[in-house]
Structure 1
Amino acid sequence: MNSTTGNTTSTLETSVLEEYLQVRKNCGRFQLSDYQLFGITGADVFSFLQTQTTNDVHLLKDGQGQDSAIVDRKGRLIASFSIYRESASAAWIFVEVVQADKLKSHLETYIFREDVTIGSPQHTLQALQGPKSLLILNQIIPNAQIPEKYNSICVQSDNVVLIQKSLTGEEGYLIGLPCGDVKSDELLSAMETICPESIAAPAREILRVEAGIPLYGKDMTAKNVLPETGLEHTSVSYNKGCYIGQEIIARIKTYGAPNFSLMGLLFLNSFSPLSETDVLLDEKKIGLIKSVVYSPALENYIALAYLHKDWRSPDVELNVTINGEAVKVKTCLLPFYQLQTRSDRSGKLLEEALEIYRTEENLDRPIEILREAIAMDPKHAAAYEALGVFLSRQNKLDEAIALMKRLVEIDPQEIMAHTNLSVYYMQQGRIEDAEFEKGEATAIQFEKVMAQKMSERAKAKDEEKDKLERARKIAMFKEVLEIDPVDAVANFGLGSIFHETKEYEQALAPLQTVVRENKDYSAAYLLLGKTQEQLSRLSDAEKTYRDGIAVASKKGDLMPLKEMQTRLHALTTKSKSTSSV
């Protein structure tokens, strides 16, 4: 990266930018020499891990994984990693190499009579990252068992390990190749042939920071209490039994937030800071900068930084001092880069194909794009329909029919597929086949109508039960409020019920009472703002969300924080567009 400190524009080296875009738009490959995969086996493996880790391993089923951590008695980080359950007596651990020895040492220290064996690494690791990583993986290992959900694992019969995990903010897969195996050499060769684009460290670093993924030794150390790192949102269960350090982490959750915790900073004036430098506001330290990169997505420098709780409200612009220079920054929730799903990307490809179709007569390019859309999302019915129509217009009816049959195999209840098959068969003069598919479409439509009616009847019964239950709760909450008019639980409960039943005027007063009397009740700010929106009190809603965001940021209440941020952004955007008309 070509970069300097000060108010200068930064550019990326061409090779780095190309590698970055390869991952963001296609698929990139890199060796994971900085990570390690090892097994833990034994009849007691999960009961043992349950007592040591911050997450609830008892929730895992075969093939599932979760992020987790181990902390000391003061809640300070010992190691962060991912656990994958292969079977009732076998687990896999994916961890940074710099943390591996410390993690193993800790686990071995607490094994007494338990039937638990910690293995050594037996695999070399490769990563495929990018929106087309699944397509590439299927070419490298045809007919493999592919993990279908994020943080899931499939161990192949030849002991090749596949894990779905993102290290870049894009969909991705980790491939564990058994060491010293001829098949592994063949797979690696195939990988290099099919996906020759190897991603080097500089591009990986940009992708990692944009994805908001902290590294041990760089963004967090053994001095950090786990909630400071932001990892508790994915790595901690607050409902499981005891583990070392649980009391400290639970106390932080209950009584507030750590003074400093990891967030994002966007530098608004092309300033390139150094890592490990303080962020000052009015000569007072409010933050410490960690990883820094130039972000092609945001077209400026970004950093992972520990910010004081008084300055953790997102989307706030601050005039700060760094290394003696005046700098304008904007606070950001992590990650900086939001993952686009395969479904999202497939939808955009469909839009692109249809736009080309509207402006050009040649169908070859739209057909090519639609094939890519279907490869990206094999269940995208609208893409199948558009591709079928285009193929039929090129008189490629056999191909259009094969396409619709494929959709029927994927989703037998897709009415459109049967309807189109009927049309295509009719065009070929295959009357009997056309009538059969027409009958199938009609039967499915009838079944769906009947199912809808039954669902509506069941819903009506449930609504009647809910109505009685709401009446009971309203009476109970009102009894409490007669004794204590400012009781937070009763007021919030009453406001929630009235909001649910769309009685927004009645919801307003109890929710206002909650935020007036309990200024750290994040969920109440969110519900009050939503109520004010429904009453078209948009300026009041904006103020409520801003106040609530400040409260939730300090407390670390991520879920209401994100929703309030999203709603505030929508309101302010709407306000700007209205004023500009």
Structure 2
Amino acid sequence: MEQTLQTEVDQVRNHCGYFPLEDWCIISAKGKETFSFLQTQTTNDVLQIQLGQGQYNAITDRQARLIANFSVHRVKEHEALILVETSQKELLLNHLETYHFREDVEFTALDYRLLALQGPKSPLILEKVFENQNLPEKPNDTTQLTLDGNRLDIIMKSLTGDEGHILCFQNELEDNLIQKLLKISTPPVKVSENAREVLRIEAGIPIFGKDMDQKNILPETGLEHTSVSYNKGCYIGQEVIARIKTYGAPNFALMGLTVEGLDLPPFNGILRLEKKKIGTIKSSVHSVTLNKVISLAYIHKEHRSPDIDLEVTIENKTFKVKTCLLPFYQSQTRKDHSKRLLTQALQIYKEQDDLDRPIAILRESIELDAKNAEAYEALGVFLSKQDKLDEAISLMKRLTEINPKEIMARTNLSVYYMKQGRIEDAEIEKGEATALQFEQLIEKNMAKKLKKKE
């Protein structure tokens, strides 16, 4: 592997890197009915976006197949910026215009340049360039900055797994902005396309047209964890998404694989276990951070538990792979922040007996660390107290995928199903919890006996 690639990835992971986002674009949505119209078309609850905030979102067809995924950012009371991959721009605009009749909203593709600044030191660098100006504080937050009297929009968004920002500005500002970034005592390094791809896949971020397309139903892609509200009103595809959430998981869903050896598995290669199809390979790369081959892949639900070793064939070639949750890489600071938010949420509930604020904090905790089992459990309990049982059940199902031996997840599922009157499902989960308790007790006793022998 080239040393320059290693250096670029290390710089982003430990310092900061920058790259132009020529494959992304900005769409302006403006008018008094902007958010009420988007609410009828998108999978997430845009009416909850406050000024300066943003959210992940998507649009699906009636079968819940993905049309476009993007993020929406509220910059004024009746104005939003939509950040979307350029490959999806026309699909998104065509869909919105198809359902746009008399609503007071206008969609315009802006001729903006986009520059990504990614890495744990990106806020410090931006503070030096934009002195005495407030930066976004949370993922998807946005604010307006000025540079030599010219306006820029900045969105806090990670494209690499580390803290990051996207700057949106008029074409003529690009040279001046980059010059100011590079004049800093420890400037960011420019990131090549190859390094950017490594960073993206390590972060477990799928892209449209490669890792997902219009053939995928949204729950297969993993986007439902960040881009779907289960409490909003009707939108196209809602019935299918809700049914999958309530009654089961999709047959195939996106997750990670680590691959032994140096060979990349072929793109779109079919994984077979004893001649049976169990998945499809998507993006693959030699991971600089993990020093191994990693792949995004759609895996059958029977094999989606993490840390399972499999010997599979892909296009008649044998590969040894291990399943893993996405992302492959997560910065330690984000995990620590997630734990602190969990503690904060529990403390607020203990002191104030309040639910809304702890729930919001726990959602942020899970967004920062998708593997924080304690945050899932706490959020599920709080949601059940608000009688939001469908979402609580969805969270516990997700937790059982993360850790199939999590007894509390099974116990909670049993309780929530019972509250819904789904007695058979409740008994099944209760049985699973009991079986896991016996297994753990046996393992504990065996460990004690082995220790005595030693």
Structure 1-normalised TM-score? 0.60
Q: Which moved more, 1:157-166 or 1:520-529?
A: 520-529
Equivalence for 1:412:
none
Equivalence for 2:181:
191
User: Structure 1's 523 and 91: CA in aligned 2 closer, same or farther, altered over 3 A?
Assistant: farther
1:320 deviates by 0.9
1:220 is the counterpart of 2:212: yes
Pick from 67, 74, 80 the counterpart of residue 91 of structure 1.
80
Per-residue Cα deviation, 1:55-96 (whole angstroms, up to 9, x for no partner): 000111111110000011111111000000112201010000
1:247 is the counterpart of 2:239: yes
Equivalence for 1:150:
139
- Provide the rounded CA distance (Å) in 2 between the counterparts of 1:323 and 1:139: 52
Equivalence for 2:196:
204
- SS of 1:337's partner is coil
* Superposition pairs of residues 61-80 of structure 1, within 5 angstroms: 61-80=50-69
Structure 2 alignment gaps of length 5 or more:
338-346, 354-392, 397-407
Q: Which moved more, 1:260-269 or 1:287-296?
A: 260-269
1:539 is the counterpart of 2:440: yes
1:525 deviates by 5.3
Structure 2-normalised TM-score? 0.75
Equivalence for 2:358:
none
Contact 1:77 1:225 in 2 (8 A): yes
The one-letter code matched in structure 1 to 2:272 is L
> Share of identical aligned residues, percent?
48
The one-letter code matched in structure 1 to 2:310 is L
Contact 1:63 1:86 in 2 (8 A): yes
Contact 1:171 1:341 in 2 (8 A): no
User: Structure 1's 23 and 580: CA in aligned 2 closer, same or farther, altered over 3 A?
Assistant: farther
- Provide the rounded CA distance (Å) in 2 between the counterparts of 1:457 and 1:327: 53
1:538 deviates by 6.9
Higher relative contact order (CA 8 A, sep 6+): 2
User: Structure 1's 196 and 312: CA in aligned 2 closer, same or farther, altered over 3 A?
Assistant: closer
* Superposition pairs of residues 103-502 of structure 1, within 5 angstroms: 103-156=92-145, 158-181=150-173, 184-194=174-184, 195-341=187-333, 344=336
- Provide the rounded CA distance (Å) in 1 between the counterparts of 2:182 and 2:131: 16
- Provide the rounded CA distance (Å) in 1 between the counterparts of 2:133 and 2:209: 36
Runs of 4 or more above 6 Å deviation: 455-459, 513-516, 519-524, 577-581
Contact 1:36 1:121 in 2 (8 A): yes
1:185 deviates by 3.8
- Provide the rounded CA distance (Å) in 1 between the counterparts of 2:224 and 2:145: 32
- Provide the rounded CA distance (Å) in 2 between the counterparts of 1:173 and 1:456: 35
- SS of 1:341's partner is helix
- Provide the rounded CA distance (Å) in 2 between the counterparts of 1:224 and 1:456: 42
- Provide the rounded CA distance (Å) in 2 between the counterparts of 1:247 and 1:127: 36
CA RMSD of aligned residues (A): 3.5
Pick from 26, 33, 40 the counterpart of residue 44 of structure 1.
33
- SS of 2:109's partner is coil
1:518 is the counterpart of 2:425: yes
- SS of 1:62's partner is coil
Contact 2:255 2:298 in 1 (8 A): yes
Number of aligned positions between the proteins:
378
The one-letter code matched in structure 2 to 1:120 is A
- SS of 1:297's partner is coil
- Provide the rounded CA distance (Å) in 1 between the counterparts of 2:108 and 2:351: 56
1:39 deviates by 1.4
Contact 1:38 1:122 in 2 (8 A): no
1:519 deviates by 7.7
1:517 deviates by 5.3
Contact 1:131 1:342 in 2 (8 A): no
Contact 1:260 1:307 in 2 (8 A): yes
User: Structure 1's 457 and 147: CA in aligned 2 closer, same or farther, altered over 3 A?
Assistant: closer
Per-residue Cα deviation, 1:213-272 (whole angstroms, up to 9, x for no partner): 000010001111111111111001111101111111111112211111111111134442
- Provide the rounded CA distance (Å) in 1 between the counterparts of 2:256 and 2:168: 32
- Provide the rounded CA distance (Å) in 1 between the counterparts of 2:275 and 2:228: 36
Q: Decide which structure has the larger Cα Rg and report it.
A: 1
User: Structure 1's 108 and 15: CA in aligned 2 closer, same or farther, altered over 3 A?
Assistant: same
- Provide the rounded CA distance (Å) in 2 between the counterparts of 1:85 and 1:30: 24
